[in-house]
């Protein structure tokens, strides 16, 4: 039996990954699947595990750079409505892994539920945000998360409760399974106040980061107590470029790409920034961006 057998209605071979990532770069996924139900996803995961192929989950694609060679194995895109539901039972909000973070924040504000609003302006989905504990200086998604439903590699659905969840700066213990949904315990607050606060946060984020359009990515983790962007700037690298990839003039921790850029342009520029910051300032930068 071939890998596609029985899955042809939601799976295909050789799909270009560029349209699915914020950089809009990179080669093809060997197999690309968009299941529309949890049952389809579970059956696919079991088959892929049996075949011993690598499997990756792609959500909003805002923290992934795909290499020009493409991605071997199976890339699963969780975007069907079944994975994007948002339900509120105050003060609890439950969201599917594929729900857009921005949409969840809007629903929370409308319902007068505070907590997640410091994440305003972060692109991507609930699944992506939980996987690497999306954060700003105002807080992180992990601190409001009370339970997560996961699908394991053998197709089992399990719940992980608060005591079994671990979140740290840009990481979590949710990288061993597929996140299906999560529950957040939030605090009641006046919806209008909350909306105003989010508008202010959005304006600040927009003024300092290239959030307006795509063709960009946030590259490094901030070192403890510092800012990767400020280190890159201090090393005189703002505006540095390789091919069609350039360090953003808004925040030096972002790389922006022009039409005609390749993933190799971005990878060369990342290496150059890391090397020069180390040589000139003696600081080691660690990437937050995942390279597939």
The answer to whether residue 270 forms part of the interface with ligand FAD (CB under 6 A) is no
Q: How far is the CB of 61 from ligand FAD (least distance, A)?
A: 5
Stretch binding ligand FAD (CB under 6 A), from 36-44, 109-117, 128-136, 241-249: 128-136
**Whose Cβ is closer to ligand FAD: residue 59's or residue 245's?**
59
Interface of this chain with ligand FAD, residues 229 to 268, rule: CB under 6 A: none
Torsion of CA 127, 131, 136, 139, to 10 degrees: 90
Q: 12, 56, 67, 170: which is the annotated catalytic residue?
A: 170
**Which of 104, 94, 110, 89 has the alpha carbon at shortest distance from 191?**
110
Q: Residue count at the site for ligand FAD (CB under 6 A)?
A: 33
Stretch binding ligand FAD (CB under 6 A), from 24-32, 110-118, 129-137, 228-236: 129-137
Q: How far is the CB of 82 from ligand FAD (least distance, A)?
A: 13
**Whose Cβ is closer to ligand FAD: residue 86's or residue 129's?**
129
Interface of this chain with ligand FAD, residues 150 to 179, rule: CB under 6 A: 178-179
Please select the residue that binds ligand FAD; options are 122, 165, 231, 255, rule is CB under 6 A. Answer: 122
Please select the residue that binds ligand FAD; options are 120, 209, 248, 263, rule is CB under 6 A. Answer: 209
Q: How far is the CB of 280 from ligand FAD (least distance, A)?
A: 25
Residue 274 backbone phi and psi in degrees, to 5 = -60, -45
CA angle 63-227-195, nearest 5°? 65
Q: Residues 50, 155: contact at Cβ < 8 Å?
A: no
Determine the residue with CB nearest ligand FAD. 128
DSSP 236: T
Rg (C-alpha) for the chain, rounded Å, is: 19
DSSP 258: -
The answer to whether residue 22 forms part of the interface with ligand FAD (CB under 6 A) is yes
Q: Is 230 in the active site?
A: no
Q: How far is the CB of 64 from ligand FAD (least distance, A)?
A: 4
Q: Which residues pair with 226 in a beta bridge?
A: none
For every residue of 11-69, which 3-state class applies, written as one string? EEEEEECHHHCCCCCCCEEEEEECCCCHHHHHHHHHHHHHHCCCEEEECCCCCEECCCC
**Which of 108, 81, 106 has the alpha carbon at shortest distance from 94?**
108
Q: How far is the CB of 34 from ligand FAD (least distance, A)?
A: 13
Q: Which residues contact 115 (CB under 8 A, 6 or more apart)?
A: 108, 139, 143, 144, 184, 185, 186, 187
Interface of this chain with ligand FAD, residues 54 to 113, rule: CB under 6 A: 56-64, 78, 97
**Whose Cβ is closer to ligand FAD: residue 134's or residue 186's?**
134
**Whose Cβ is closer to ligand FAD: residue 45's or residue 58's?**
58
Stretch binding ligand FAD (CB under 6 A), from 42-50, 110-118, 187-195, 211-219: 211-219
CA distances from 174 to 55, 56, 85, 151 (A): 15, 13, 20, 11
Residues with a catalytic annotation lie at 170
Contacting residues toward ligand FAD, per CB under 6 A: 22, 56-64, 78, 97, 122-125, 127-129, 131-132, 134-136, 178-179, 209-211, 216-218, 290
């Amino acid at each position: 039996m071939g890998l596609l057998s029985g899955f042809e209605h939601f799976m295909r071979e050789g799909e270009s990954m560029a349209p699915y990532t914020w950089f809009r770069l990179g080669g093809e996924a060997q197999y690309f699947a968009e299941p529309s139900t949890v049952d389809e996803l579970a059956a696919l995961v079991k088959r892929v595990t049996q075949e011993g192929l690598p499997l990756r989950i792609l959500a909003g694609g805002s923290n992934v750079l795909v290499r020009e060679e493409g991605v071997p194995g199976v890339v699963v895109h969780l975007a069907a409505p079944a994975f994007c539901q948002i339900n509120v039972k105050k003060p609890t909000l439950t969201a599917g892994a594929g729900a857009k973070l921005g949409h969840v924040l809007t629903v929370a504000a409308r319902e007068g539920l505070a907590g997640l609003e410091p994440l305003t302006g972060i692109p991507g989905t609930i699944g992506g945000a939980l996987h690497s504990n999306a954060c700003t200086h105002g807080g992180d998604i992990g601190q409001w998360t009370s339970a997560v439903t996961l699908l394991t590699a053998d197709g089992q659905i399990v719940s992980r409760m608060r005591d079994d969840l671990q979140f740290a700066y840009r990481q979590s213990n949710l990288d061993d399974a597929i996140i299906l949904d999560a529950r957040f315990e939030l605090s009641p607050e006046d919806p209008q106040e909350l909306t105003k606060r989010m508008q202010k946060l959005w304006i600040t984020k927009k003024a300092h980061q290239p959030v307006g359009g795509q063709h960009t990515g946030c590259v490094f983790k901030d070192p403890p107590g510092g800012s990767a962007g400020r280190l890159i700037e201090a090393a005189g690298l703002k505006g540095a470029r390789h091919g069609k990839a350039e360090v953003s003039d808004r925040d030096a921790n972002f790389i922006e790409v022009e039409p005609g850029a390749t993933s190799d342009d971005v990878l060369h520029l990342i290496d150059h920034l890391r090397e020069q910051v180390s040589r000139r300032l003696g600081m080691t930068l660690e990437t937050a961006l995942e390279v597939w």
